[in-house]
Structure 1
Amino acid sequence: MIMGLRRYCCVAAAAAAALAAISGAALAQNYPSRNITLVLPFAAGSGTDTTTRLISQHLSQALGVGIVIENKAGANGMLAATYVARSAPDGYTLLVTTNTTHSANPYLLKSLTYDPVKDFTPIARTGDLPFMLVINPDIPANTVAELIALAKKDPGKYSYASGSSSASVSGATFARLAGIDLLHVPYKSSPPALTDVIAGRISMMFIDVPTGLPHVNAKVLKPLAVTTKRKSALLPDLPTMDDTVKGFDITSWQGYLGPSNMPKDVVVRLNAEIRKIIERPDIKSQLAERGMEAFSGTPEEFEAFLKEQLVLWEKLIADAGIEKQ
């Protein structure tokens, strides 16, 4: 009797697996047949939002369906990431995100409601969003060294805003490496943080180039340096933080992920279409104007990169002395 029951269970399990494979194949063959939703962990007007809207226009044309962008800012991107992680793995709800949700949050937040590896399917990395240090123009400093001197002269007088994990970790890293006392003022997203820096209520912030560049060009923010160790091709005249604060090297990546267990054929299709868009010279140029260094690769390369970034950001956050909140 027990052996018969075991045989029945094995047959049932095999049948279920076969049915799932057939269903997955059918899904991939007909994909996509309706609108796709791209969920973003940041507010409208952020760097991720701006670049995603450009890419999504062409992705919509390539796939022949509409693409809806849904901004779910809040909780350091955890709201958006959790929403996608719990969505059906059918390719119709995707996350366009950065290192905030998938590299930094595991080491910044005590109660993370998703696993950055197990709960997601990597689809395509789309490039890097370099950050830069900007200050209110009324602050009498034109270089990072001059800003450090001011902060050392008046400890605790100067503050930095943050609207993302990259900005938060960059600010803490700057304070530690430069040996200065800065007040951290966190925000839900970058646009309102920038508003307060421009108004002079906050002294400075590290901001992604796409979001900050229009304000720099309008002369309402003063740029001092980029956060990458090498100069940015997007801002060749701007020095690096490492020129003054040795060892400073932080950048932000961007990419597309879906819920775990997405059909392989759907992932391959999405990756191929996204890469075609990213590799077009005209799109690269338009993304560069928005402050993004665009490039891509395979889902497997993106998966390996994500795991490497978790190791890197664990060290960055530990070295900055940031405790989980």
Structure 2
Amino acid sequence: MKKNILIGAFLAAALPAAQFAAAQGETYPARPVRLIVAFPPGGSVDVVARLVAPPLSQSLGQPVVVDNRSGASGNIGTELAARAKPDGYTLLIHTIPFVANVHLYSPLPYDPLADFAPVCLHPHIAGELLNMLGGVDIVAVQYKGGGPALVAALGGEIGISFPNISEAVPHVSSGRLRALGVTGARRSAALPEVPTIAESGVPGYEFVTWHGVLAPRGTPREIVALLNEKLRAILRSPELSARFAQMGLDVIASTPEEFSAHLKKEIEKWGRLIRERRMRVE
């Protein structure tokens, strides 16, 4: 199971967060905000989006609508967000494929750094890392997202899977899944009895997945600042913090600069593994 970190990363600099008059002369937000999830319903990204959307809707005073646009390991929804008007009414929540796909797909229809500004891991890669460090040969079977892959594992269609802890805990607790190991550097508070993969005999193994919110590059700074304040407050609320803890998620409310630096490091990190393992998606 993959260790999870929820990154509440936020766009641009922290500016006054009071409501303001947008360029069109309207007060933002004046209509519903779309939050694109680039994966099918049921996966960890979808679950996180649906937990964040209601309090964000309440805080903004407008509906935040979760829009699942899955396909091509997240590329379809990501491209849709990249091409959206940068007016604050389209946001994207993503995870490791956002930085890994630049090395897996050629050509990629968007640039993860040039086409997005940070606002607030991929199962195949987790398996390849285990192959490399553990000297095993796990054959990857591609699914549209974590939800369908988990269903396949529950149904006996595949023998091993790398679901996020937030997805796996209910099924481990019910006995439908057996937890073999946690991919993080330390055990999960959600499943403290399950050892890490490194503890189980694969030293150096660590795979941590994250969730982050982004918006199209060019979104006004004032809108970014408003989203910054709202999301930080939501992520730090006792109710949501407790819910994320139950799911095995660690909450990190990062600055835009920290998230940008994180994305650059992730692109380099997974690029090295993908090149070494000669991974490619046609």
TM over 0.5: yes
Moved over 3 A (4+): 23-29
- C-alpha offsets along residues 100-135 of structure 1, whole Å, 9 cap, x if unaligned? 12x1111111221100000011111xxxxxxxxxxx
Q: Report the Cα distance in structure 1 between the residues aligned to 2:280 and 2:50, rounded to whole angstroms.
A: 34
Higher relative contact order (CA 8 A, sep 6+): 2
Correspondent of 1:274 among 225, 231, 240: 231
Q: Which of 228, 233, 238 pairs up with 2:194? A: 238
Q: How does 1:1-325 map to 2 (within 5 A)?
A: 25-26=22-23, 30-101=27-98, 103-124=99-120, 166-243=122-199, 244-325=201-282
Kept in 2: contact 1:51–1:290 (CA 8 A): no
Kindly state the Cα deviation for residue 242 of structure 1 after the two structures are TM-superposed: 1.3
Gaps spanning 5+ residues in structure 1: where?
1-22, 125-164
What is the identity, as a one-letter code, of the residue corresponding to 2:183?
A: T
Task: Give 1:288 deviation, angstroms.
Answer: 1.8
Which residue identity does 2:197 align to in structure 1? M
Letter in 2 for 1:75: A
Query: Once the 2 structures are TM-superposed, how far is the Cα of residue 24 of structure 1 from its aligned partner?
Result: 8.4
Partners of 2:186 and 2:24 lie apart in 1 by 44
The count of aligned residue pairs is 262
| Distance in 1 between residues matched to 2:26 and 2:197, nearest whole Å | 49
Q: TM-score, normalised by structure 1?
A: 0.76
Deviations 1:223-274 (A, max 9, x none): 0111112222333222111121112111111111011111011011101100
Normalized per residue, the structure richer in strand is 1
In 1, distance between residues paired with 2:223 and 2:43?
A: 28
Separation in 2, partners of 1:110, 1:319: 17
Mapped to 2, the partners of 1:279 and 1:71 lie a distance apart of 25
- Compute the TM-score of the two structures, normalised by the length of structure 2: 0.87
Change (3 A) 1:86 1:172: same
Report if the CA contact (8 A) 1:50-1:290 is conserved.
no
Query: Do the aligned residues in 1 keep the contact of 2:21 with 2:27 (CA within 8 Å)?
Result: no
How far apart, CA to CA, are the structure 2 residues paired with 1:305 and 1:206?
22
In 2, Cα distance between equivalents of 1:114 and 1:174 = 29
CA–CA distance in 2 between the matches of 1:56 and 1:43? 16
**Two-structure CA RMSD over aligned residues (Å):** 1.9
Alpha-carbon deviations, 1:251-309, whole Å to 9, x = none? 11111101111101101110110000111122111122233212212222212221121
Fraction of identical pairs, as percent: 36
Unpaired segments of 5 or more residues in structure 2? 1-19
8 Å Cα contact 2:190-2:247 kept in structure 1: no
How far did residue 28 of structure 1 move? Answer: 9.0
Partner of 1:252, secondary structure, is strand
The 1-side partners of 2:38 and 2:78 are apart by: 7
8 Å CA contact 1:51, 1:292 repeated in 2: no
Distance 1:287 1:43 in 2: 20
